[in-house]
Amino acid sequence: MIKYIGNSASGGLAVGKIKIINRRITGFKRVVLATHREKALYEAAIILAKDELRELMQTGDRTQQDILNFQLVMLDDNSLKEMVETNIAGGNGAARSVEMAMEEFCARLKNIGDGYLSERTSDIRDVLGRVVDILDGHSRERFNLTEPSIIVADEILPSDLASIDRQYALGFVTVGGSYQSHANIIARTMGIPSVCGMDSEILNPLNNGRTVCLDGYSGEVHISPNDGTVALFHHRIKQEQRAKLSLMALKEKEIYMPCGDKLEIWANCNDPQDITLAINNGAQGIGLVRSEILFMKSSQPTFESQLEFYCRCINAAQGKPVTIRTFDIGADKPIGDISLEKEPNPALGLRGIRLQYRHRQLFETQAKALYIAADRCGDLNVMLPMVALEKDLTDYLEMAEKVKNELLEKGDIYVDRITWGVMIETPAAALISDRLAQHVKFFSIGTNDLTQYTLAADRINVETAAYYNPLHPSVLKLIEITVNNANAAGVKVSVCGESAADAACAKAYAQLGVRYLSMAQNAMIPVKQQLLEEYV
């Protein structure tokens, strides 16, 4: 028996045969032609890659179609095209030029500092790897599974999941990838165990077809396990299946505090698919929809694409409350065609609501789409990020009021069904929450940024991890001030930061008076179980 240890990416257990997919070895010898010919080859490869993606979109579900559509958009990205053409002009062949552009583009995303955007490098590598394969005359190996298997690969790419027969996918083991890669997000959604960050030795062809026991919780992978290990895994799998049935029984249970107040579990989501899954898993509302996800599908989302997205979000919630966060973009998240000057400290620069003065049309278009979506599809909560000044809030609401009145006059909407709120993610917002409460109906506490700004500890810097503590007395004090001011004004308070998924934090927030906890949907049932044990 050989034991490997990687990083847990999706919890679960599996026993099956290994199917190895190794795309790291190419063995191609490239000949560089004249510059104009290499450029022509690149342009032809882009056309072929688009055809392949459109073919995959015909068989994929809506989630896969959205991912592949983003890849189609990337093939038309002007900055990416300029990188490739510059590399070709410098004497490199088309395939090598695409690889160089891919590395540079991915490095830029990694340096952004935003977890979701930086993890989109898998999509970039996927689509540009497809272009390189075409230029090299290499057909991409697909996951053609004919029996239940545990896939061992250098990396599971988003387009792989569009062609895979998921009923045969028992688990994923990858050398590359990360917890937030699309493949692992989907693996968690589907309940498929996955381990990433594995030693490359596991790709040894001799492992193909061998039995493997996969532990998605600990990151352990046992190849050619003995009979005792196999029996233990089968026993654990049966126990897990019984435990899941027991936990799902909590889905409909409600939580009440000792004072009699109801405590609701909501979900943070990226798109309508996330919302559907969350509602089906017992979410009592959607506390955060990140509207900037639209920039991953278009360089700058149109009014039509926004309207369609917001309506789909409302419909997916099946009558439960839905909260859309307006575009949280800025110099720390350079997206699409939004041109921003480089800032010395982007986390403290122009982002979120602060951009309304420079990109007025962008926010007016979003407000218009939100008002019409609410009018047509149902009530909508909308919250504003990165508020520190009362003036920023009142200026935005004044703009939104003007947009609403124009829509009413034209007959584009008949009623205002939007409830406005503010994200409390700066110490300033917490300390003036009594003043902010005069203008909105709800607060949503973003503990990620609130902790970062309160303790002056970059939330993604491992060197300051010891300082980043959402349970620090200073952070809890700011939350307490916010809750007290909200209660005095009759304003609802939720927490939508990642810390809400931690049972200890969730209990602390509930004790401070927070009555809505919003978290990743896969954390809802475990947190609910902990809270029920505490308060029932």
Chain segment 384-400, per-residue pLDDT in tens: 999 999 999 999 999 99
Known catalytic residues are 182, 496
Structure tokens given for 61: 């579900």
Expressed in angstroms, the distance from the first to the final Cα of the chain is 46
pLDDT confidence band for 369 (50 / 70 / 90): very high
Q: Which residue has the higher pLDDT, 498 or 185?
A: 498
Mean pLDDT is highest, among 68-77, 196-205, 459-468, for 196-205
Q: What predicted TM-score, i.e. pTM, was given to this entire model?
A: 0.65
Residue 405 has a pLDDT of 96
Residue 329 has a pLDDT of 77
Residue 135 contacts residue 185 (beta carbons within 8 Å) = no
Q: For residue 384, what are the β-bridge partners? A: 422
Mean pLDDT of 524-533: 89
Average pLDDT, the chain: 85
The DSSP annotation for 300-366 comes to S--HHHHHHHHHHHHHHTTTS-EEEEP---BTTB--TT------SSGGGSSBGGGGGGT-HHHHHHH
pLDDT confidence band for 66 (50 / 70 / 90): low
The DSSP annotation for 438-500 comes to TT-SEEEE-HHHHHHHHHT--TT-GGGTTT--TTSHHHHHHHHHHHHHHHHHT-EEEE-SGGG
Report the percent of the chain where pLDDT is more than 90.
45
Pairwise CA distance, residues 270 & 520, whole Å: 10
Q: Which residue has the higher pLDDT, 341 or 423?
A: 423
Structure tokens given for 191: 């309940």
Q: Where are the domains of the chain?
A: 2-23+141-248, 35-136, 255-535
Task: Please name the fold of domain 255-535.
Answer: TIM Barrel (3.20.20)
Q: Which amino acid is at 73?
A: V
Q: Which amino acid is at 450?
A: L
Q: How many residues does the chain have?
A: 536
Q: Which of 119-128, 157-166, 195-204, 344-353 has the lowest mean pLDDT?
A: 157-166
Residue 122 contacts residue 159 (beta carbons within 8 Å) = no
pLDDT confidence band for 492 (50 / 70 / 90): very high
Looking at the structure, give the CATH architecture of the domain made up of residues 35-136: Orthogonal Bundle (1.10)
Q: What residues contact residue 232 under an 8 Å CB cut-off, 6+ apart? A: none
Q: For residue 52, which of 106, 129, 120, 122 has the smallest C-alpha distance? A: 129
Mean pLDDT of 177-198: 76
Checking if the pLDDT of 27 tops 50, the result is no
Residue 286 contacts residue 321 (beta carbons within 8 Å) = yes
Q: Which of 2-16, 66-80, 231-245 has the lowest mean pLDDT?
A: 66-80
The CATH number of 2-23+141-248, from 1.10.3470.10, 3.50.30.10, 3.10.20.30, 3.40.50.300, is: 3.50.30.10
Q: Which residue has the higher pLDDT, 498 or 343?
A: 498
Pairwise CA distance, residues 148 & 15, whole Å: 10
Q: Which of 214-223, 239-248, 377-386, 435-444 has the lowest mean pLDDT?
A: 239-248
Residue-wise burial string across 12-24, b where 16 or more C-beta atoms lie within 10 A, e elsewhere: bbbbbebbbbbee
Sign, CA dihedral 6-11-15-17, equals negative
Residue 343 has a pLDDT of 66
